[in-house]
Amino acid sequence: MAYMIQVDFKMNGPFGDEMADAFSDLAKSINEEEGFVWKIWTENAETNEAGGIYLFESKESAEKYLDMHRKRLEGFGIPEVNGKIFGINTKLTEINKGPIKS
């Protein structure tokens, strides 16, 4: 069963194209993570926040990734991370065309 991760944290940039250049190798590596389906990279240059919305194939793979990602962000100098894992209500999500098929 698929699970979501939502992550956000304070970051003073880079955003936009500069962020894409800085993190494209990291993005490619995320495609190789166990159970990974997709990620939407989020950013807000006005509030100095960034993060991601992820779909994983299972709760276990989502938990494993979030643990690793928290440590990675701490290594980037970002100790405070809002990170939550959620199950998905499939019936309601199907009504609203949510892209949860892997």
Pick 16 or 79: Cβ nearer its own copies: 16
CB of 7 to its own copies, least distance (A): 10
User: How far apart are CB 91 and its own copies at their closest, in Å?
Assistant: 4
Q: How far is it, in rounded angstroms, from Cα 95 to Cα 87?
A: 16
Could you say whether residue 93 binds its own copies (CB under 8 A)?
Answer: yes
> Residue 14, preceding bond cis, omega within 30 degrees?
yes
Residue 34 contacts residue 40 (beta carbons within 8 Å): no
Q: Is 72 in the site for its own copies (CB under 8 A)?
A: no
